[in-house]
């Protein structure tokens, strides 16, 4: 597999392969001697696996790392842990652990390696939240979440009485009225989401919709991990879920995240028929544009770290159709200052905040 991965970069004018390693231990030695700009590494390796090697790399010789991961449940969970431990990004192997058709991911891997090369080493540190602190949050929120389990099941849409309400007039921002929080992110997003979502109190008077660019299967593991660490409930969105305050819904990989109003209630709609937008499904633009049609909510739109410009066009639509507070992550804390930069360039962003201040910034606009 090392030979195949090396061959992927032959056609890239931006990448030169300077070495390969047999396993995690060998990788650490090679990195120390060759000092590469970027490392690609499989999670599954002999002697020392990719997760253990990643920890040592981040401790001894930090360098941007793009991981290769299988799409099994164990593989997706490990990919999320790798991101927490400092990996810039990951690529899903198409055939799981066997990898007979790795050629299918060539363009994605080359692109992500080229982008990872631009990430400053200073931004590769692990999340500041310690394991002990994470476990404390998990224990503190367990009882509350167990009491909410029955609320997390989607209510059948055909059991809701339909009632048409007059739209609330638009005006200046007020803490009164219904609110919804919309978050879009890409590269570096899992770590940014952990920094933000774990600081949101369970008393938040708004639902949260999240689009994280990620393949199918991996969003489930991300939601599970965030749910373990947060006071609020975090779940992968399911078709027909009823929006509730204090719950964050993460768009599944391969589906656009939309809403449907039935009476006074809003339900999740997952759409895998609409084409990817700029290569993304889910797309932040699609989520923003869909939610913009509902004047029932004042919206707080947050755009965090990520390559490209997803979210900036949707932000324009949001701002043209209702009361919206737009928050962008600062360049100083973004792993990749792409999506927030594009949002700021629209001149429609109200607040620019470091990632560790975004939760507080969101909450100051809520009752």
Residues noted as catalytic? 186, 213, 310
Phi, psi values for residue 262, rounded to 5°: -130, 105
Q: Please state, in angstroms and as integers, the Cα–Cα distance from residue 162 to each residue in 48, 69, 123, 240, following that order.
A: 58, 46, 50, 16
Is the CB of residue 2 less than 8 Å from the CB of residue 43?
A: no
What's the CA gap between 297 and 279, in Å, rounded? Answer: 29
Could you tell me how far CA 352 lies from the centroid of its own chain?
19
What's the CA gap between 86 and 134, in Å, rounded? Answer: 17
Which of 259, 280, 272 has its CA nearest to residue 212?
280
Residue with tokens 């009823």: 242
């Amino acid at each position: 597999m090392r030979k195949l991965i090396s061959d992927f970069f032959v056609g890239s004018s931006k990448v030169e392969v300077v070495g390969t390693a047999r396993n995690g231990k060998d990788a650490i030695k090679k990195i120390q001697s060759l000092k590469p700009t970027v490392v690609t590494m499989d999670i599954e390796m002999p002697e020392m696996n990719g997760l253990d090697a990643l920890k040592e790399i981040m401790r001894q010789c930090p360098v941007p790392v793009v991981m290769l991961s299988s799409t099994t449940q164990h593989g997706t969970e490990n990919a999320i842990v790798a991101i927490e431990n400092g990996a810039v990004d990951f690529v899903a192997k198409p055939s799981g652990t066997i990898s007979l058709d790795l050629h299918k991911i060539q363009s994605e891997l080359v692109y992500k390696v080229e982008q990872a090369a631009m990430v400053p080493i200073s931004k590769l540190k692990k999340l500041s939240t310690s394991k002990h602190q994470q476990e404390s949050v998990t224990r503190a929120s367990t009882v509350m979440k167990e009491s909410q389990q029955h609320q997390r099941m989607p209510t059948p849409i055909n059991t809701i009485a339909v009632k048409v309400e007059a739209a609330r007039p638009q005006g200046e921002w007020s803490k009164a009225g219904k609110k919804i929080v919309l978050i879009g992110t890409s590269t570096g997003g899992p770590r940014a989401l952990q920094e933000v979502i774990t600081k949101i109190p369970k008393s938040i008077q708004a639902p949260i919709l999240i689009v994280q660019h990620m393949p199918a299967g991996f969003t489930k593991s991300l939601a599970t991990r965030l749910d373990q660490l947060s006071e609020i409930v975090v779940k992968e969105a399911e078709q027909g879920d009823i929006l509730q305050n204090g719950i964050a819904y993460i768009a599944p990989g391969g589906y656009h995240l939309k809403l449907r109003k039935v009476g006074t209630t809003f339900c999740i709609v997952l759409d895998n028929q609409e084409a990817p937008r700029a290569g993304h499904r889910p797309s932040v633009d699609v989520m923003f544009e869909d939610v913009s049609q509902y004047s029932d909510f004042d919206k707080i739109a947050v755009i965090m770290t990520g390559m490209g410009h997803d979210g900036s066009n949707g932000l324009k639509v949001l701002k043209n159709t209702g009361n919206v507070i737009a928050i962008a992550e600062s360049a100083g804390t973004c792993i990749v200052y792409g999506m927030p930069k594009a949002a700021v360039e629209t001149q429609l962003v109200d607040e620019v905040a470091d990632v560790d201040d975004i939760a507080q910034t969101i909450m100051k606009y809520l009752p």
